Amino acid sequence: MSASTKVRVAVTQQEPVWLDLHATVEKTCRLIAEAAGNGAQLITFPECWIPGYPAWIWCRPVDIGLFTTYLKNSLSYDSEHMRRICNAAAQHKITVVLGFSERDGNSLYIGQCTIDSTGKLVMRRRKMKPTHMERTVFGDSSGRSLLNVVDLPIGKVGALACWEHIQPLLKYHTMIQGEEIHVSAWPVLHPHMGGESLWGMSQEGTLPSIMREIYRDELTGTPGGMGASQVYALESASFVLLTTAVLGPSCVEKMNLSPPWDALGGGASAVIAPDGRRLTEPLPANEEGIVYADLDMDAILSCRHFVDACGHYSRPDLLWLGVDTREKTQHRQEGQADTTINGPEVIPGPVEEESTEYYRF
């Protein structure tokens, strides 16, 4: 638990400079400075904030020209652009949780990282499995991406991206790392489009306070609901910082979007308390801004007194989770090659299996 019982957070609802790495990094640094100037200790950014979510994939599966531009404008860890963001975090003494298209060589991944208030990269991960059409652009992650919670002076901060919030095992593994503040990163979220379009990709399917009239929200008086981010807050008894982007005309033009994916707006950023209630007033869906909230960290203790799904409200003697956090790379050398001309005599014998490092929760 954080030494301080109050933590001020800033949740962005902004439009990236689409397909422009340099300009979006510049905007990122400006937003970091703005949030810190307003007293925030943590600022969050949406899924693929840099250089913007590749929305064209839902209109057509292949666009080689756009993909090439997207690749060239994606962010690498070992780059001057990443160093600029880290320096901005250090200069303004604020923790940054960043969503971006990660470039590693000629491959892309849906990346998230946490930069602490000294400018140090303390967590880096990739989305475990890109969703549906996202696989035309992005690759999978490996074991290291499961280590997605980091202990900071403000509390234990974790992150997942988009539909990872409907992956039960992944969610539980994130929660059991002691997470207290969860960054729920999404792209733009539009209202349901009707017909056969997937409910779970809409605002109604993912957000609190708009899905269906289960109860009346105490703060806003608007219809309440049990969307993915709100369910995560209830299950984990942690604060959820729901972070989304805004889609404007420039994205429609640059990515040549067609209906219904050319709908403007999609912003729906919010802060959700450990008991599931919404703590912030919504911004208009097409409006850029930053949503601020002061988190009372003691609220986590109150909620977990009732329900601690990773503690007293669990049955590890009956149900448990196994996790392999080893990083699997494309090149692994097995054993040592013999360099003599004829080599030693080979004597058949038992083969020892490679030891594994599995963690049981």
Catalytic residues: 47
3-state secondary structure 169-224: HHHHHHHCCCCCEEEEECCCCCCCCCCCCCHHHCHHHHCCCCCCCCCECCCCCCEC
Between vectors from CA 47 to CA 290 and to CA 264, what angle results, nearest 5°? 70
* Pair of tokens at residue 256: 């040549």
Give the β-pairing of 181-185 and 239-245.
Answer: parallel
Residue 271 parent element (H or E)? strand 270-272
Give the β-pairing of 95-104 and 42-44.
Answer: parallel
Tell me the C-alpha distance between 295 and 300, whole Å: 10
- Confirm if 98 and 112 have CB atoms less than 8 A apart: yes
Would you state the torsion angle of the CA atoms of residues 282, 179, 90, 74, taken in this order, to the nearest 10 degrees?
Answer: -70
Beta-bridge partners for 99: 112
Give the β-pairing of 42-44 and 322-324.
Answer: unpaired
Q: CA 92 from chain center: how many Å?
A: 22
* Pair of tokens at residue 325: 């956090």
Question: At 351, which amino acid appears?
Answer: V
Burial of 84 (0-12, 13-18, 19+ CB in 10 A): middle
